[in-house]
Amino acid sequence: MTDRNPMVGQRIVVTGMAGAGKSTFSRVLSTKTGVPVICLDLHSWNPGWVRVPEGERADTLVILAMPWWICAWRAFRRGLHQCRRQFFTSRNN
């Protein structure tokens, strides 16, 4: 990693509706910035659902505000792909 953009912090939260593209965006952002991808639940909560202390939280927030119908279509399509994968996996076993 070379010159870091001062507008992007070391801990970035990417949020949005299901199907908004958070995982895809996060992987690309990680590749370009060198900042690792961390699951938000794992980063925001300690074991026993105890909130992470303030000093350990993210310093940059990215909100993916996609139209709901795009998010719904992507989530539906992802669900179909998962069902299809499970169906073919169970038939092969």
pLDDT, tens digit, 9 for 90 and up, residues 28-64: 988 988 888 876 666 667 777 787 777 667 787 888 8
Q: CB neighbours of 80 closer than 8 A, spacing ≥ 6? A: none
Give how far Cα 58 sits from Cα of 31, 55, 70, 71, 74, Å: 18, 9, 27, 25, 27
Question: What would the mean pLDDT of 66-75 be, rounded to a whole number?
Answer: 89
Q: What is the mean pLDDT of the chain?
A: 79
Q: Which residue has the higher pLDDT, 4 or 23?
A: 23
pLDDT range class, residue 81, cuts 50, 70, 90: confident
Residue 3 pLDDT more than 70? Answer: no
Angle at 25 between CA 20 and CA 30, to 5 degrees: 155
How far is it, in rounded angstroms, from Cα 38 to Cα 16?
15
Looking at residue 6, its pLDDT comes to 65
Helix (H) or strand (E) holding 68: helix 68-92
Looking at residue 41, its pLDDT comes to 62
Residue 1 pLDDT more than 50? Answer: no
